[in-house]
Structure 1
Amino acid sequence: MLFRLAAAAALLLALVPAPASAADGPIGFASVNALGQNGTTGGAGGTEVTITTGAQLRDYAGRAGAYILRIQGRIQISDMVTVVANKSILGVGSTAEITGGGLQLGSTTRPGNNVIIRNIRFTNAEDDSISVTNKAHHVWIDHNDLSAGYDGLLDVKRESDYVTVSWNKFHHHSKAMLLGHSDTYTADIGKLRVTYHHNFFDGTDQRHPRARFGEPVHVFNNYYRNNSLYGIASTQNAGVLVEGNYFENVAHPIHVGYAESDPGRVVERRNVYVNSGAPETAGSVVEPGTYYAYTLDDPATVPAKVQAGAGVGKI
């Protein structure tokens, strides 16, 4: 009898689909060979350090060279901690947390290229929880939980490029994700190639993302629920492909243009809209498949898959 129960349990586990972010690397733009960087490897091969204090985090995140920083427990910081190139910042177990401040990938003189951030809870940041900025490229932000910040939970801006944002949970906040610094920051043209997949936007109000200038911006297999202002906004001639997502109770799932910003371009396909409004679309968009291979999940399965797989403690 025990053998039959164990066999049945093993069969059920085998039937559960694996998360779409591989343990050894990202899907999407962070996987692309470009700008002298073949995919995103973070601190692979570097020194491993267990981080238990804010002072340690600020020290090691700013050191030159490759490091794997393992965040253990709750770490209190203030303002933004600068993260420079070739770092993996990984939460231990399901209780790793950075609170009070956030991580800024790169400065104007020290680039934040080839960085991985995974399995960490971010709360109560004084500014952004995570800011990918200052020409940072090849960044993978995966399986985090972000809430209750002051400004953006996860912004990508100022000529950053080749970024994947996957399997994160966003909640208890208004402005989730900005892509592009401002309507007048035209240096972002030709940059800001970002993949957003299998994220859970649970009750956040807006910016999932609000995109400026970038193309292609690839938004696939995300779960949008109870987003009061809008889901996605494409502005300032951004080119956004929205496919295979599930929108539930979202009155304005996709905007073309928003507020004072000029319109962008949007192609949408195979999305599900439950108790939601009609999406706005315009123009054409470069296919992300010209950069990387990916597999689209059936959008009807997205709520269950994303709720089961997104956030901390799932890798």
Structure 2
Amino acid sequence: MTHTYTRKAHRAAATAACAALVLALTSTVGSAHARSHDLGRESLPPGDGWGSTGSGTTGGARADAAHVYTVTTWAELKAALRKGGDTPKIIKVKGTLDATASGCAAFAAEGYDFARYLADYDPAVWGHDKQVSGVQEDLRAASAARQKPAITAEVPSHTTLIGVGGNAGIVGGSLQIKGADNVIVRNLTLESPLDCFPQWDPTDDNRTGAWNSEYDSAVVHGSTHIWMDHNTFTDGAHPDSTLPSYFGKIYEQHDGELDIVKGADRVTVSWNAFKDHDKTLMIGNSDGATGDAGRLKVTLHHNLFAGIVERAPRVRFGQVDAYNNLYTVTGEQKYQYAFGIGHQSQLVAEKNAFTLPAGVSAANILKKWSDAPVTATGNYVNGHSVDLVAVHNAEMPGEALRSGAGWTPALRTRVDDPRALPGLVGRRAGAGGAG
């Protein structure tokens, strides 16, 4: 009996020792994985939207140690972007980078006087029949020309730009991904830049006039293999409601949040939050840009659009797959539409979720700008399945849309039930949600 007990005790002790060893090894491996896990070296997963096609999107994942930078100022960011040309690089943004810390006055050309500008081009004086011209308009243009290079940053090929920590972002700057290939932008809060010198166009808006501004938070211009992931786009401290009005029109200092234009192609936009903005997301910027035909292939999935007015997205030419996005509209906000159906577009909008207040019809979700086919199936509005094309055509027969975009998306790594999106996307989209 004593020997039997001893053998059992030895076996129990050995089992416990093995378990302890496995636990220790697992803990060590887990800790090593946690230490080695670097979001900056992550690539777009295979099959995750148009950005994954061809050579895929790896950004700066192959960067050597000499081309990994941490930046804490706007000037440091611009310098890091210039280093090494198209050599793979990872740039980690720590804290909030302010591109306009010196204020608008720092860009003003000598002699520019906004009060004089208003007096010279007041419609009561200038009218609505011709574009503005003269000394103050020339000085306004000169001031704008000084602002542009100060607040724009060119992002080269094979770059990963990623925020680290809980408050990484850019205020007042515009990321220009222009003529580049293989770029990743993740985990950043991008506060819309303010155009310090909007131009008054008296002939705009059916000759009632409008203030026109430049600068998007990010522009993908003629670039390929781009992944925009887990970023927050917002007007931040300067929503339109805080802007003044002149000549009866809002002094608009914002342009878009994200534009994908001029032959850009193979782009995936995932898990971003687009908040409190008017002209939000444009794919294709001109009906006359015939070179865009066959390009502008963009996937939008698991993005949050909250407090936006229009363009979520507005599409020309592009073969765009928009699925599993969440749109929330409140009774207080201005709202025009989500999906803009434009010239030669082939938009597929499937399994998205919309929350609309009383008085806002689901017919407004689609907006016809040109005659182009659209697929809009499996979408939910306020928790109920709705045929968006049928509702639109029933309420707006004069702007009837053609159903059936003519292609079937295949590049989707996960598709969620639209009814789960308020909890899923509402919680995880935006800066800080990756990893």
TM-score of the superposed pair, with normalisation by structure 2: 0.61
- Return the offset for 1:128: 0.2
Structure 2 gaps, min length 5: 1-41, 100-149, 195-214, 236-252, 390-400
Name the amino acid aligned to 1:287. Answer: T
Structure 1 gaps, min length 5: 1-22
- Return the offset for 1:253: 4.8
- Return the offset for 1:40: 0.3
Counterpart secondary structure, 2:166: coil
Name the amino acid aligned to 1:121. Answer: T
Partners of 1:256 and 1:266 within 8 A in 2: no
Q: Which residue of 1 aligns with 2:402?
A: 282
RMSD of aligned alpha carbons: 2.0
Q: Which residue of 2 aligns with 1:140?
A: 227
Q: CA–CA distance in 1 between the matches of 2:433 and 2:388?
A: 32
- Structure 1 range deviating more: 158-167 or 293-302: 293-302
2:321 is aligned, of 205, 210, 218, to: 218
Q: Which residue of 2 aligns with 1:67?
A: 89
Q: CA–CA distance in 1 between the matches of 2:305 and 2:175?
A: 20
Q: CA–CA distance in 1 between the matches of 2:295 and 2:68?
A: 32
1:229 is aligned, of 333, 336, 342, to: 336
Counterpart secondary structure, 1:96: strand
Counterpart secondary structure, 1:170: strand
- Return the offset for 1:24: 4.1
Q: Which residue of 2 aligns with 1:9?
A: none
Name the amino acid aligned to 1:67. Answer: K
- Return the offset for 1:182: 1.1
Equivalenced residues, count: 279
- Structure 1 range deviating more: 156-165 or 224-233: 224-233
Partners of 1:253 and 1:278 within 8 A in 2: no
Q: CA–CA distance in 2 between the matches of 1:183 and 1:155?
A: 15
1:269 is aligned, of 377, 400, 408, to: 377
Q: Which residue of 2 aligns with 1:97?
A: 169
Q: CA–CA distance in 2 between the matches of 1:312 and 1:218?
A: 22
Q: CA–CA distance in 2 between the matches of 1:267 and 1:253?
A: 16
Q: Deviations over 1:92-150 (max 9, x none)?
A: 022101011110102xxxx22100000000113131001000x2000000001111171
Name the amino acid aligned to 2:402. Answer: A
Q: Which residue of 2 aligns with 1:131?
A: 219
- Return the offset for 1:263: 2.4
Q: CA–CA distance in 2 between the matches of 1:104 and 1:220?
A: 26
Q: CA–CA distance in 1 between the matches of 2:383 and 2:160?
A: 40
Q: CA–CA distance in 1 between the matches of 2:51 and 2:383?
A: 34
User: Does 2:420 correspond to 1:309?
Assistant: no
Matches within 5 A, 1:35-74: 38-46=55-63, 47-63=67-83, 64=85, 65-74=87-96
- Return the offset for 1:279: 2.2
Q: Which residue of 2 aligns with 1:25?
A: 44
Q: Which residue of 1 aligns with 2:286?
A: 182
- Return the offset for 1:203: 1.1
- Return the offset for 1:246: 0.3
1:86 is aligned, of 155, 158, 167, to: 158
- Return the offset for 1:278: 6.3
Counterpart secondary structure, 2:266: strand
2:353 is aligned, of 238, 241, 246, to: 246
Q: Which residue of 2 aligns with 1:153?
A: 257
Q: CA–CA distance in 2 between the matches of 1:293 and 1:207?
A: 23
Q: Which residue of 2 aligns with 1:118?
A: 186
Counterpart secondary structure, 1:297: coil
Counterpart secondary structure, 2:340: strand
Q: Deviations over 1:145-197 (max 9, x none)?
A: 11117111011000000000110111121111000021211111110000000
Q: Which has the higher helix share?
A: 2
Q: Which residue of 2 aligns with 1:201?
A: 305
Q: CA–CA distance in 2 between the matches of 1:89 and 1:100?
A: 17
Partners of 1:232 and 1:253 within 8 A in 2: no
Q: Which residue of 2 aligns with 1:297?
A: 416
Q: CA–CA distance in 2 between the matches of 1:263 and 1:275?
A: 30
Name the amino acid aligned to 2:425. Answer: V
Q: CA–CA distance in 2 between the matches of 1:96 and 1:114?
A: 22
Partners of 2:192 and 2:233 within 8 A in 1: no
Q: Deviations over 1:47-80 (max 9, x none)?
A: 2100111112112223411110000001012432
Q: CA–CA distance in 1 between the matches of 2:81 and 2:371?
A: 38
